[in-house]
Structures are given as structure tokens and as C-alpha cells.
Amino acid sequence: MAKDLHAFMLIKHIIRIFAANFKKMSNKNKNNTQGEFELIDLLTQNINIYNRETIKGIGDDAAVLAFEKEQIVVTNDVLIEGIHFDLAYVPLKHLGYKAAIVNFSDVYAMNAQPKQLLVSIAVSNRFTTSMLQELYAGIKLACDNYKVDLVGGDTSSSRTGMFLSLTAIGSAEKNDIVYRNTAKEGDYICVSGDLGAAYAGLHLLKRENELFQADPSFQPVLEGYDYILQRQLKPEARADIYRYLKQKGIVPTAMIDISDGLSSEILHICNDSGTGCKIFENKIPIAPETESMADELSIDPTVCALNGGEDYELLFTVSPDDYKQLTAEPQISIIGHITNKKEGTVLISTGGNVIPLHAKGWNAFARAEDN
């Protein structure tokens, strides 16, 4: 009996604690909800709608889109503070811009046009409203530059740090969509722009940040490194290459964007297409700024291009019939060709050595374990 009473008292006690916590929680939710609506309004004001396919954007339970005959391309990226970005050296506006760009790049890599974007954020109370406005200024700038409509998202709080999830929607004619698994033996391998600069930029930022952490009176030296910093902090998606190929009437046989390094991406194309490849080290486009930073860091610039990542250039293969038209375009380099699977996936070094390619691309999981 006494035991039962004791249990009863204990339960009453627990219920009291639960009730107090519940009251706190529901009050908190109420404030948050009120704050959340105001915050959403603040962040999503002055949104421009560019595409006729956007029937209803932000402001209802869901966005409404209407496409005609085209196929729809959808892609999503998650960005976690401490895993994908470090706010010690990434300005929030740049983060917003880049988060949108990486999604647009995935749509272009399907040979499609990005049209809409959804943005979900979860932030801890460390982030002030003006910080979130900075983030959104970057997202909106990317949407304006690429004529993409911000049509919705979700807003939540997190216990620690910032989480971002962005979804881009694009469209293309069925026959224009380009997959990774359709490269053919004899095709030429092409890449836009230059490679390795974003990786060089990241190393520079990390080095200066470490020096600053060790001695706060240290003044980071970033002047003269504009190109590699811009490539790391404010990359662009290759809308120009997408348009160039369209204008020339060229549909690549396979395409992918370079987010994890040339090596890893060419292996995706070859493995998925059941082919081999031969790429030539001396044909890989590397900017002089990347070479001098690599030199400073005592790393091989080719390694920056092969294993770096975050370049957001387009890697694509074209049939031999189309290749001549591309040789005139300085923004496109032909770096090798697709071979029979039996020949393997190899790099021919400047010295003439045959080196098998390995996927040593950027790996969020490896990085999480390192931390």
C-alpha cells in the first residue's frame, strides 16, 4: 500500500514536471510561430518571378507550377554548418549565393534550365534576423542572376548551428536531357572553364583562419588572391556553356558537373556508361592563380584539379561529329576521349606515364569523421 502510494506520488511529481515543461514548450512554440511568420515575410519580400511556369510562388500551402511538354528536372542539396561550410570564413551572403548556385549547376548538368528554387532553413538562436537576411540576400541575388523563382521552403529552429536544404526545379525537352550513363567509345571529353581554383581558395582561407585563430592580432592576407577566393566563395553555374551548346545545336552524349573533382566525376561517367577513358594531364585547364597557390602550398596543381572539387564546371562528352565546333571556344577544353572499358580509366601524365584514376573527391562523410 505504502509502496503504491509512493509510486502514485512519483507519477504525480513526474506529471507536474511534464506539465511545467509542456507549458514552457507551448509558450515557446507560440512565440516561435509568431516570429516564424514575420521572419518568413521578411526573408521572402521582394521576390521576383521570372518564369511563366510559376503559377503560385510563396504564400500558400504549396507552390503551383505548370509546365507544358517539357520534362521536369529536380535536385536537392543539403548544407550543414561544420560539415559543408564554416562560418569562420564564409560570409553568409556568399553562403546563400553558393547554396543556390550548386543546385542550378546540377540542373545545367542535365542540360536543363533551372526555373524554381525552394529553400528550407533551420537555425539556432545564435543567428539573428539580420544574419538570415544576409543569407537570403545571397540566395535572391543568385535567383535574379539566373532568372530562377524562389517559390517556397520551410523555416525551423535547430539546437545547434545552421542547416540548409535547397531544391531546384528545371525543365528541358525530353530529347535534350543528358544523363551520365550515355557516353560512347570514341567520344571526346570536354570541360568548361578551369579546375582546382576553388580547392586552392579553400586552402588559403583555412590557412589564414588557422593563423588568425592562433593569434587574433594577425591580419589575414587575402589581397592578390581574388580569383581563387571568388572561385571558392562565389562560384557560378555554367549557364553560358548550356546556352552555347544549345545555340550550336550540340547535345552532349553525357554530362555531369564537377562538384567533387575531375577524377571522381569522369569515373562516374565511365562507370555508369560502361566505358574507359584517357585524359591528358597537359590538357587539363588550370588557371595561373591556382598554379601559384598550389606552389605556395607545395601541392601539385593537377591534384587540385583531379581531387579538389567545388569547381562547378561542366564535364561532358561529345560525339566526334560535334567536336570540331567546340575547338574554337576558349571556355571549353578537350582533355581526352572515351575508350573501351578494357583500356581502363587513366590519366596520361605530362611525362607520358599511364596513371589509373581514383575517386578521391570531396567526401562529407570522411570529413565528418575527421572532425
Residues engaged in binding ligand ADP (CB under 6 A): 40, 43-44, 58-61, 119, 121, 150, 152-155
Q: Which is nearer to ligand ADP, 152 or 361 (CB)?
A: 152
Q: Which three cell numbers stand for residue 314?
A: 561542366
> Out of 7, 31, 48, 154, which residue is the one contacting Mg ion (CB under 5 A)?
154
Shortest Cβ distance from residue 288 to ligand ADP (Å)?
Answer: 40
Per DSSP, the three-state class of 281 is helix
Closest CA to 181 of 113, 246, 110: 110
Shortest Cβ distance from residue 153 to Mg ion (Å)?
Answer: 8
Shortest Cβ distance from residue 63 to Mg ion (Å)?
Answer: 12
Number of neighbouring beta carbons within 10 Å of residue 318? 25
- C-alpha–C-alpha distance, residues 270 and 308, integer Å: 19
- C-alpha–C-alpha distance, residues 76 and 141, integer Å: 19
Q: Which is nearer to ligand ADP, 121 or 258 (CB)?
A: 121
- C-alpha–C-alpha distance, residues 94 and 232, integer Å: 10
Shortest Cβ distance from residue 103 to ligand ADP (Å)?
Answer: 14
Shortest Cβ distance from residue 198 to ligand ADP (Å)?
Answer: 26
Stretch that binds Mg ion, among 30-38, 51-59, 153-161, 204-212 (CB under 5 A): 153-161
Are 285 and 213 in contact by the 8 Å Cβ rule? The answer is no
Shortest Cβ distance from residue 188 to ligand ADP (Å)?
Answer: 41
What percent helix, strand, coil does the chain show, rounded to 5?
45, 25, 35
Are 178 and 254 in contact by the 8 Å Cβ rule? The answer is yes
Q: Which is nearer to Mg ion, 154 or 296 (CB)?
A: 154
- Residue 44, binding choice from Mg ion, ligand ADP, none, Cβ under 5 to 8 Å by partner class: ligand ADP
Closest CA to 123 of 148, 154, 102, 145: 154
Stretch that binds Mg ion, among 30-38, 147-155, 260-268, 326-334 (CB under 5 A): 147-155
Closest CA to 135 of 115, 156, 119, 116: 119
Which residue has its beta carbon closest to Mg ion?
A: 154
- Residue 274, binding choice from Mg ion, ligand ADP, none, Cβ under 5 to 8 Å by partner class: none
Bridge partners of 333?
A: 191
Stretch that binds Mg ion, among 19-27, 103-111, 149-157, 275-283 (CB under 5 A): 149-157
Q: Which is nearer to Mg ion, 169 or 202 (CB)?
A: 169
- C-alpha–C-alpha distance, residues 288 and 312, integer Å: 18
Q: Which residues are near Mg ion by CB under 5 A?
A: 154
